[in-house]
Structure 1
């Protein structure tokens, strides 16, 4: 959706203020952002710099082996002038896979391709939280967008995690518009999105364009019925990734004060 200048300005300012509020409400003062060099992490890092200052934003680059576009990640950190560190995760993912190989047999006949693809995002999020708990007052910021989340193009407990998600209700084209408003260099916004794991772009993996998906999300319009069915199926089958974990209702009393009211038990 093409946003009017006034709407883009007001929404971006609201986003910045929202980040400040979320940080304060969570008791945090610093942001930990996994940096890929693509538009999402670049825009999130830029928003955090504007919200809490560059001295409070920490970028983490996490290549799994050779990452051919890692220069983008270095460049956006330098452009924003934020502290950043490269932490290769290949030793960690390799250790996981080696352990899984060692128990192959009746219990686990083979290591599936899905296991191999989703392991690095989960390792990355584990690493981000490990770093966050060693940087006092820091919070891990989610960098997912609405387009990816809508079709479940995200790893549960991997890139679905974080203290809060600034871009979760913005499509890919809207993220780009926010980035342009913030002055993020075009090279980071125009870079074809890819997961950095499969060697393919997101659109190659999905089988349809983000333009098609975004128009369907915002307008409900889509020309190709087969593509609509694919998107609808992906959306339906991935909703479990984005809802709180279901909890069995034991119908037993909870007398303690529940500030968040997350248990949904009826108080007596």
Structure 2
């Protein structure tokens, strides 16, 4: 992981040299392992003055202290934008036109706040001249535990080829405190942990991804199913080519 850490830092430097010289990295900060590691990698590559953290609670966030402690630890400039009002305003606008409560539909209730958060990141990025960091890891992407055009979006993706287990090791190499590496992964909206929502642990998933080994065949079936139906989130958008038959 030490070698990988150094290679990622060099990769981020190269990305900004080629795609955003003098731009700042904009990172959505949840206080969890992934965003903490991505922010730390960006600081190591670009310097504290070139990394902007954005905290985006939806109403009251019970664990927002983790986010605040992370930006304090890294000593990076940050903004706190509460997304509760735009989330509710959009819901009311849709209700006024369609006559249905959007939150009655899981696909809306789960994903729309994440898309608004990404709109916030790109809004700030446009103002300061930045590039938005994607903070998804391989484990999440493999089973589609991300929101298309929400947290799955971004301009550059430093950790998307690393499992959750490997991301924790990267964080350790970066010198992040244990509180950020051991924090129970959650989306900050449902009140449940990632593993409660998925129905299996990251340890099981990560071992299966890297070795193909898994003892519980029902869990294997579920992982395979989730991977198959969510491939559209990570594959390039299908594009019609003129002349195709």
What TM-score bracket applies, with the shorter chain setting the length? over 0.9
Structure 1 match to 2:190: 198
Q: Say yes or no: does 1:121 pair with 2:114.
A: yes
Cα separation, 2, equivalents of 1:109 and 1:117: 14
Identify, as 1 or 2, the structure richer in helix. 2
C-alpha distance in 1 between matches for 2:72 and 2:169: 22
Does the Cα contact within 8 Å between 2:33 and 2:180 map onto a contact in 1?
A: yes
Does the 8 A contact of 2:95 with 2:101 survive in 1? Answer: no
Count of residues in Structure 1 that have an aligned counterpart in Structure 2:
242
Kindly report structure 1 stretches of 4+ aligned residues shifted beyond 3 Å: 108-111
Cα deviation code 1:20-72 (max 9, x no counterpart)? 11112212431000000000000000000000000000000000111000000
Instruction: Answer yes or no: is 1:82 the counterpart of 2:76.
Output: yes
Secondary structure of the 1:60 match is strand
- Normalization by structure 2: what TM-score? 0.96
Residue matched to 1:214: 206
Unaligned residue ranges in structure 2 (runs of 5+): none
CA distance in structure 1 between the partners assigned to 2:236 and 2:202 by the alignment = 27
Matches within 5 A, 1:1-268: 8-28=1-21, 29-105=23-99, 111-136=104-129, 138-251=130-243
> RMSD value over aligned CA atoms?
1.2
Give the structure with higher Rg (CA). Answer: 1
Which blocks of at least 5 consecutive residues in structure 1 are unaligned?
1-7, 253-268
